[in-house]
Structure 1
Amino acid sequence: MSTDDMRKFMKNNGFVLFTVVAVIIGIILGFCLREYQMDFRQIKYFSFPGELLMRMLQMLVMPLIISSLVTGMAALDSKASGKMGLRAVIYYTTTTVLAVITGIIMVLIIHPGGGGKEKMHREGKIEKVHSADAFMDLVRNMFPPNLVEACFKQFKTNYGIRKVKPILAQNETVISDSVINNVSQAMNLLLEVTEELVPIPGSVNAVNALGLVVFSMSFGLVIGNMKEDGAILRDFFNCLNEAIMQLVSVSMWYAPVGILFLIAGKIVEMEDMTVVGGQLGMYTITVIVGLLIHALIVLPLLYFFITHKNPFVFIGGLVQALVTALGTSSSSATLPITFRCLEDKIGLDKRITRFVLPVGATINMDGTALYEALAAIFIAQVNNFELNFGQILTIRDRLRTTTNVLGDSLGAGIIEHLSRHELQKMDAEAGKFVIEENKMKKPYQLICQDNENEKSIDSETKM
Structure 2
Amino acid sequence: MKVGNKLTIYIVIALIAGIAVGSIFNTMADAAWVQWIDQYIFNVLGQIFLNLIFMVVVPVVFISIVLGVVSVGDPKQLGLIGIKTMLFYLATTAIAISLAISVALVLKPGDGQADLLNTEEVSEYRSTELEGGDTELAMQTTFDQTLINIIPDNLFMAMADQNMLQIIAFAIFIGVGLIAVKEKAEGIIKLFEQANEVIMWIVLAIMKYFAALGAFGLVATAFTQAGFGAIQQLGMYFICVLLALFIHFAVVYGSVVQFLGKKSFVWFIKMFAPAMSVAFSTSSSSAVLPVSLETAQNKLGIRKSISSFVQPLGATVNMDGTAIMQGVATVFIAQLSGIDLTIGQMATVVIIATIASIGTAGVPGVGLVMLAMVLTAIGLDPAAIGIIIGIDRLLDMTRTAVNISGDASIALVIDHQQNVKEGKFIKGKSKYVDGKIVSK
Range class of TM-score, shorter chain: 0.7 to 0.9
- Mark the CA change 1:284 to 1:272 in structure 2 (over 3 Å): closer, same or farther: closer
SS in 2 for 1:346: coil
In structure 2, C-alpha distance between the alignment counterparts of 1:132 and 1:32, rounded to whole Å: 41
Q: 1:130/1:61 Cα in 2 relative to 1: closer, same or farther (>3 Å)?
A: closer
Match of 2:190 in 1: 235
> Is 1:30 the equivalent of 2:30?
no
> How far apart in 1 are the matches of 2:9 and 2:227?
30
Contact preservation (8 Å) 1:259, 1:327? yes
Is the counterpart of residue 211 in structure 1 residue 207 in structure 2?
Answer: no
Is structure 2 residue 336 aligned with structure 1 residue 344? Answer: no
Rounded Cα–Cα distance in structure 1 between residues aligned with 2:281 and 2:292: 14
Deviation at 1:411, TM superposition (A): 0.9
Q: Counterparts of 2:332 and 2:137 in 1: how far apart (Å)?
A: 19
Could you tell me which amino acid in structure 1 is paired with residue 101 of structure 2? I
Structure 1 residues 203-352: aligned runs within 5 Å: 207-253=162-208, 254-270=210-226, 273=229, 276-278=231-233, 280-352=234-306
Match of 1:21 in 2: 13
Whether 1:389 aligns to 2:343 is yes
Matches within 5 A, 1:47-86: 47=42, 48-76=44-72, 77-86=74-83
Whole-Å Cα distance in 2 between the matches of residues 83 and 134 of structure 1?
A: 27
What are the equivalent positions in structure 2 for 1:93-172 lying under 5 Å apart?
A: 93-115=90-112, 117-120=114-117, 121=119, 122-123=121-122, 124-125=125-126, 127=130, 133-153=141-161
The Cα of 1:33 is off from its aligned counterpart by 2.5
RMSD of equivalent CA atoms? 2.2
Contact 1:112/1:378 (<8 A) preserved: yes
Deviation at 1:414, TM superposition (A): 0.6
Q: CA–CA distance in 1 between the matches of 2:400 and 2:228?
A: 24
Structure 2 residue 91 is the aligned partner of structure 1 residue 91: no
State the shift of 1:272 in Å. 6.9
Q: Tell me the amino acid that sits aligned with residue 268 of structure 1.
A: T
8 Å Cα contact 2:231/2:238 also seen in 1 = no
Cα deviation, residue 227, structure 1: 2.2
Partner of 2:362 in structure 1? none
Q: How far is the alpha carbon of 1:119 from its aligned partner?
A: 4.6
| Rounded Cα–Cα distance in structure 1 between residues aligned with 2:227 and 2:304 | 43
Shift of 1:41: 4.9
Cα 1:62–1:283 shift into 2, 3 Å: same
Give the CA deviation at 1:378: 1.4
Q: CA deviation at 1:131?
A: 7.0
Mapped contact 1:141–1:208 kept (Cα < 8 A):
no
Give aligned pairs, total.
361
- Residues 133-142 or 87-96, more deviating: 133-142
How far, CA to CA, are the matches of 1:66 and 1:130 in structure 2?
25
Residues 256 and 409 in structure 2, CA contact (< 8 A), matched pair in contact too: no
Give 1:263 shift.
Answer: 0.7
Please tell me the residue identity of whatever aligns with 1:401: T
What amino acid is the match of 2:69? M
Q: CA deviation at 1:219?
A: 1.4
C-alpha contact 1:348 1:413 (8 A) present in aligned 2: yes
Cα distance per residue 1:60-106 (max 9 Å; x no partner): 10000000000110111112212211210111011111101110111
Q: CA deviation at 1:271?
A: 5.6
CA contact (8 A) 2:85 2:310 kept: yes
Larger Rg belongs to: 1
Residues 350-403 of structure 1 deviation map (CA, whole Å, 9 limit, x = unaligned): 111111111111111111111112211211111011111111011042463111
Deviation of 1:265 after TM superposition, in Å, equals: 1.3
SS of match in other structure, 1:298: helix
| Local SS of the residue matching 1:142 | coil
2: CA distance between counterparts of 1:46 and 1:34? 15
**Aligned pairs for 1:398-417 within 5 A:** 398=357, 400-417=399-416
Tell me the TM-score normalised to structure 2 length: 0.77
Tell me: CA distance 1:272–1:341, structure 2 relative to 1, closer, same or farther (3 Å): closer
Asked if 1 retains the 8 angstrom alpha-carbon contact of 2:50 and 2:287, the reply is yes
Distance, in Å, in 1 between the alignment partners of 2:163 and 2:169 is 10
Letter aligned with residue 54 of structure 2: Q
Which moves more between the two structures, 229-238 or 382-391?
229-238
Q: Give 2:316's aligned residue.
A: 362
Please report how far the alpha carbon of residue 299 of structure 1 lies from its aligned counterpart in structure 2 after TM superposition. Answer: 1.0
Aligned partners of 1:283 and 1:416: how far apart in 2?
A: 37
Counterpart amino acid of residue 401 in structure 2: T
**Quick one: which amino acid aligns to residue 145 of structure 1?**
D
Task: Say whether the 8 Å CA contact 1:23–1:260 is kept in structure 2.
Answer: yes
Aligned partners of 1:251 and 1:24: how far apart in 2? 21
Unaligned runs of 5+ in 2: 131-135, 358-366, 368-398, 425-440
Q: Structure 1, unaligned stretches of length 5 or more?
A: 1-9, 154-206, 426-463
- Counting aligned pairs with the same residue, the percent is 30
